[in-house]
Each structure stands twice: as C-alpha cells, then as structure tokens.
Chains A and B, each alone.
Chain A
C-alpha cells in the first residue's frame, strides 16, 4: 500500500494519473451537479417556514463542509511536508489553499444571502459565521505567506508549520467564538438544526455534497498539475541560468 502511494508520489507518474483520471472526474462532477441541482432546485419542496430561500442551503451547507474538509486536506499535506519531506505534499497543500478559500468565501456569501431575508441583515455575528470568517482569513494569510516567500522549499516548510499551528488553533477559536456568542446574544439566533430534515430535502443535499467533493477533487488534481508544471518551468529556468553561468 505504502509502496503504491510512493509510486504515485512521483511527479511524472502523478501527471500521468491526472491525464487519465481528469476527464472522468470532470464527467462525474458534471453528472452529480446535474442530478443534485435538479433535485434541490426543482424537486425539493419549499420549506414551510423559510420558503424558497431554503434552496440556498443546498449550496451553502456543502460549501461550508468543504471549507473545513479542505483545511483537513491541507493539514495532512503539511504533515507530509514536515515528516516525509515529500515535494508533492507541498504541491498538494499549496494547490488546496485557494480552493479552500473559494469554498469558504462561497459559504460566507451564500450565508449572507440567506441571512438577508431570514434575519433582515446581510451579516450577523453568529458563532458559525464568525468562525467561518476567521477560517477565511487564515486561508488568505496562508496564501499570502506562500506568495511572499520566493524559495519554494522554504515556503513549503513554513506554510506547513503555519497550517499545523492552525489545526491546533481552529478548535480553540471555534470554542471561544461559541462561548463569546452565547455570552452576548443568548439564543436570539435561529438555527437550522431544529426539526430533522425531511428525506425529500435530504437526498438532494447529500448529492450536492458529493458533487462538491467531486468538484474539489477535480480542481485539486488540476491545480496540483499546474503547480508541478510551474515548478518545472522554474527548474528549467534555473538550469538555463546555470548553463550560461558556467
């Protein structure tokens, strides 16, 4: 098992994998989205309380879920960078960061759009929204760190350290924000998790979650491919510079 993983971890072999799997994944993603969107936008009934607005949830919930999932993916990659020092681990983490930021942004925007009719305001310092906002800022900070450090191997290690520090800190931030929120706004916020979700709404939600996961996988693989190619170009440039220097 480990040998097969290390074989995949060879950049050239990995590129071959992306070439073969990529089109299938694109197809799968499109199919899942077709089913999921039809189910959630057409088939699912409007909520008796929230009306048609509830349909935002079919985008919002999977996006929020993937916002956290992507961070977990980056944390695993960071371990790969620091423990096994594998170059592909950093490629994975670096490629995942903008995707995580995008999903987090999507979750924030859809949450805000949903909040306007439901709460009468675009933003509310709800515990969940606040936690997600902090997560968003952390993604942007990581991207900034990668962009500021020129040497890729050094950037890889530093970013990995920051990701792991964030992994330790995210639960603490989440806990403190929850605590802060209950202190200041006792139970004024309506939560989704009151009644159990009706099956007619549950299955489109699950399909949408699968579709989003598939989308993340596809985009991540292609982003990793681009990053590998970018680094190859850099290697070629360095080789050219070395060739003229000596």
Chain B
C-alpha cells in the first residue's frame, strides 16, 4: 500500500472528484423511499471523501446507494460527479462507481481468479476521475490484498461467506474507479478482514477517491455521516 499516491499535495493530485446529490426523490413499489435527500462527498481531507449513510432499517440506505450506482429511477433530483474539469450525471455516474452490494456478484462455477479476471476485463475505465482513488492492481496483487492469493485456482463455490466477500472487495482493486459505493461492507467479515478492508478504504480516500458506505455498524475510519430519516408519506400520484 506504500506506492499509493497521496492527495495531500494538491499539485500532484489535480483530479479531485466531488459527488453532489440534490433533492433526490425516489419511489419504490408505490412507496416514497427518499424524499428530497441532498448531500455532497469529497473535500480537501481524506475524511471529507468518506460519507457514512446511516439510519434505521428500511429507511432507504441501500436504495440511495443503488440510485447512485444507476440501479433505480429518480422521480426528481440530480446526481452529479465532477472530477478534473469533467462532469457526469445520471446513468453515467454509475460507470465511475464500484458498487459492492449485499450480493457478491460471483459465479460459483468459476475459479477465484477467473471471477476476478472477468471483472477486470469487463469493467470500463471511469468516464471522469481516472487516476483518483485506489489505483488498479494486478490480479495477484489484488488477491494478496484481500488475502486470497493462496486460493486463486479454487472454484468460488467452495469459499466461505467471508472469503466470498473478500473476493468481491478485490473487484474494487483490479479496476480503478473514483467512487466506491459500499453497502454494509463489513458484514460477514471477521475482525482481521474488516481491518484490511478499512485500510483499503482509507487508502482509497487518501488517494482522492470517494466512498459512500451504508452501515449500521460503526466503521473505524474518519468520515462524515448522512443520517436518513423515514420519508414522510406514501406517494401522491393517485391520491
């Protein structure tokens, strides 16, 4: 992790991504889940680059992350990602994201390295913010970073839940993208793995990358928080 460029000196890291969401309104299944959520991620310090999304169950934490990842429809509002003079909105923001959801997006019939190699070859470089955040690692480096290098040729179906989670995390390391969206990233991880993940997150934020993490377990990382509250009413379209 020593070769990661730090963003402390602004002259070496001119690409400073910023995520700006304004007045997001989202309905799911006829129910208003988000009712005007606004937030910004990204600043001068690594702590400003990390946003923890918290709140009670069912309040829309996952929905919010999925919206940024392009997996949902906004009724109104805008999500905008700027970096190094470029800007994208809407679905294109998703292409600058690494989304780590509840499911690990692994094929049990493929080996650990085949799974990872596919995502490395398939994921396009980000439309903006190339160079910000955790740099892309080689396959074996990424597997080593999540302590799976010994299992590279094993079918992913044989891995435990925690190991699968780590393999999913390795996906974020083989393609560089400026924005990480992590939905309960520490679930299923033991203490050592969690410490490793937090170190990776810290490195990403220190390198100018942005992180949005939905969590209800405290994560040992400096960052800002966004507390979501339940949306006031069900949708009005037919009322």
Touch A–B, Cβ below 8 Å: yes
Interface residues of A (CB under 8 A from B): 11, 87, 150-154, 228, 231-232, 234-235, 238-239, 242, 245-246
- In the assembled complex, 8 residue pairs joining A and B whose CB atoms fall closer than 8 Å, in A order, are A153-B27, A228-B238, A232-B238, A234-B30, A235-B234, A235-B235, A235-B236, A238-B31
* Known A152-B29, A231-B30, A242-B230; further 8 A-B contacts with Cβ < 8 A: A87-B238, A150-B29, A153-B27, A153-B30, A154-B29, A231-B238, A238-B234, A239-B234
Give the dominant DSSP class at B's interface. Answer: loop
Tell me if A87 and B237 are in contact (CB < 8 A): yes
Q: Does B58 contact A (CB under 8 A)?
A: yes
Tell me if A151 and B237 are in contact (CB < 8 A): no
B-side contacts of A245, CB under 8 Å: 58, 230
Tell me if A11 and B234 are in contact (CB < 8 A): no
Q: Does B1 contact A (CB under 8 A)?
A: no
* Chain B interface size range: 10 to 19
Q: Which residue of A lies closest to B29 (CB)?
A: A151
CA distance A83 to B233 in the complex (A): 27
CB contact list, B110-130 vs A, under 8 A: none
Q: Does B191 contact A (CB under 8 A)?
A: no
Q: Which residue of B lies closest to A151 (CB)?
A: B29
Tell me if A11 and B237 are in contact (CB < 8 A): yes
A-side contacts of B58, CB under 8 Å: 245
Q: How far apart are B233's CB and chain A's nearest CB, in angstroms?
A: 6
B-side contacts of A228, CB under 8 Å: 238
Q: Which residue of B lies closest to A228 (CB)?
A: B238
A-side contacts of B150, CB under 8 Å: none
